[in-house]
Chain A
Amino acid sequence: MAGTAVPGRLGERLRWRVATLVDQRAETESAHTLVLKVPGWPGHLAGQHVDVRLTAEDGYSTQRSYSIASAPDSELVELTVQRVPDGEVSPYLVDQLAAGDQVELRGPVGGWFVWRPEQSEPVLLVAGGSGIVPLMAMIRVRRAVSGRSPFRLIYSVRAPEDRIYLPELRRGDPGLDTAYLYTRRVPEGWPRLPVRLGTQDLASNGWPAEFEPTVYVCGPTGFVELAADMLVDLGHDAGRIRTERFGPSGG
């Protein structure tokens, strides 16, 4: 695994780099993983994100932030992008960007919502929709270092076909327990009706507060607020609940 470069000299860390798409794969109908080659990439921590800048031929330019999905792997950085209907950027990245095309990228960004291999306490990951992406990076880094700290993942999606990384999650990892929640439509034979994340889900599929886990919650703002409030109600120390929100203005 590449060394991580955080902190680093700011000018270097936040310099725009040219990234070239080398591969792309569909994770679901609307979420694709972009494999970008970024010469000079300084490495990253699980949970960090990057800024992506697109420039049109007339000079117009716009930026978005995307979580890194992959464990550090020299010059390759994987982003999983969910297509936002009517979005300005995500439909372009998901549907139009082709191998050899270039975007600008900088980072890694984010020094708080990270999991480091030297952490030994239990970890609870709570994902809403594409909020799984930075949490998957944590699972992948744990796998890459043969980490022993116990992980639990609660993954809330609208419907079965929205599950990103399903084959990889099904293969599983020793010491990782995964629980799914469906808010609109459940798989055939599923014992529950569609349901929103509730305190009971966090209690039965998470860790008791007295185990002092670190909890990472990522998803849309409403989901994150709800989950974080329920975790505090369950007795988790607010200082050990780390959150990352996807604003409504994504795309």
Chain B
Amino acid sequence: MATVAELVWSQAEGGIIVPVISRGFHGRPRPAGHKLPPGQYETRDFPVLSAGPTPRVDLDSWTFTIKTEAGVKHSWTWAQLTALPVEDPVVDLHCVTKWSKFETRWRGVSLDVLLQDIETAADYALVHAYGGYTTNLPLVDLLDGQAWIAYKYDGADLAPQHGGPARLLVPHLYLWKSAKWVRGIDLLVRDVPGFWETAGYNNYGDPWREQRYQGD
């Protein structure tokens, strides 16, 4: 499978894969072949979990907006977003409700493309969704080939119950960070907790460190 790491490398400097090796660095011993984070089980279904009813969003009025800490807005219509260069990430999903789904296939626009030319000193992102859902994460977690605005799943338009027309996809964090029905991202100098993060879930949500709840 094309891991996220491979996607990161493939994006570096025009596709030339030249990682810088730090001489003599080995890191901690790593278990081989393990791709199920602690406390997770594998599912082959695609369970649906949401905090409320599924919003219906008309593509003619759909927009995606990035707003900087200075209040400057950058918006894309549906036609503009889908005209941008796409990537086809194949990634593992890990939901905080314990299921993991391997090698899911998506199409979307990398956040690297959307954020590249934005002037900001922000360190945090607060993601907004149609329907009012919010979630927060460090801005760096949206960069380096780690996040996409995804609008196709398994070759078809993304179904509303899975976040269509478009959702954020940040597969290295628990799935609640991958906001369905994404509408925009505020870039912030200070961290502001989102919906689940205010309700006792972990502020960061790394499945490999099992950061499910506050204090994990």
Contact = CB atoms under 8 A, between A and B. Distances in A.
A88 B28 contact: yes
A9 B119 contact: yes
B106 to A, nearest CB: 22
Interface string A34-46: 0000000000000
Contacts of A51: 140
Contact of B20 (A9, A10, A102, A111): A102
A122 to B, nearest CB: 23
Interface in A72-110: 88, 92, 96-97, 101-104, 109-110
Contact of A54 (B5, B22, B116, B122): B22
A57 interface: yes
B119 A7 contact: yes
A56 B27 CA distance: 7
Nearest to A249: B209
A40 B70 CA distance: 26
A92 B118 CA distance: 35
A120 B200 CA distance: 40
Most buried by B among A62, A88, A112: A112
B168 to A, nearest CB: 17
B23 A101 contact: yes
B86 interface: no
A62 to B, nearest CB: 6
Contacts of A8: 119, 121
A216 to B, nearest CB: 15
B45 interface: no
Given A61-B5, A103-B20, A112 B26 contact: no
Given A55-B21, A57-B21, A109 B116 contact: no
Contacts of A101: 22-24
Interface residues of B, number: 32
Contact of B116 (A6, A9, A88): A9
A200 to B, nearest CB: 30
Given A11-B112, A111-B189, A103 B22 contact: yes
Contact of A10 (B5, B21, B116, B189): B116
B1 to A, nearest CB: 15
B146 to A, nearest CB: 12
B15 interface: no
Q: Is the interface of B mostly helix, strand, loop or mixed?
A: loop
Contacts of A202: none
Given A96-B24, A101-B22, A112 B123 contact: yes
A60 B123 contact: no
Contacts of A111: 69, 121-123, 189
A159 interface: no
Interface in B175-199: 189-190
Contacts of A189: none
Given A57-B21, A110-B123, A112-B190, A88 B140 contact: no
B20 A18 contact: yes
Contact of B19 (A6, A55, A109): A55
Contacts of B26: 56, 60
Contact of B118 (A10, A102, A103): A10
Interface string B93-119: 000000000000000000010011111
B120 interface: yes
Most buried by A among B5, B68, B118, B123: B123
Interface in A1-50: 6-11, 14, 16, 18
Interface string B23-49: 111111010000000000000000000
A88 B144 CA distance: 22
Contact of A104 (B20, B24, B119, B140): B20
24 contacts: A7-B68, A7-B70, A8-B121, A9-B116, A9-B119, A10-B119, A14-B143, A18-B20, A54-B27, A55-B25, A56-B21, A60-B26, A60-B30, A61-B19, A92-B25, A97-B22, A101-B22, A101-B23, A101-B24, A109-B123, A110-B123, A111-B69, A111-B122, A111-B189
A-B interface, 5 closest residue pairs, ranked by CB to CB distance from nearest:
A111-B121, A11-B116, A7-B121, A54-B22, A54-B25
Interface of A: 6-11, 14, 16, 18, 51, 54-57, 59-62, 88, 92, 96-97, 101-104, 109-112
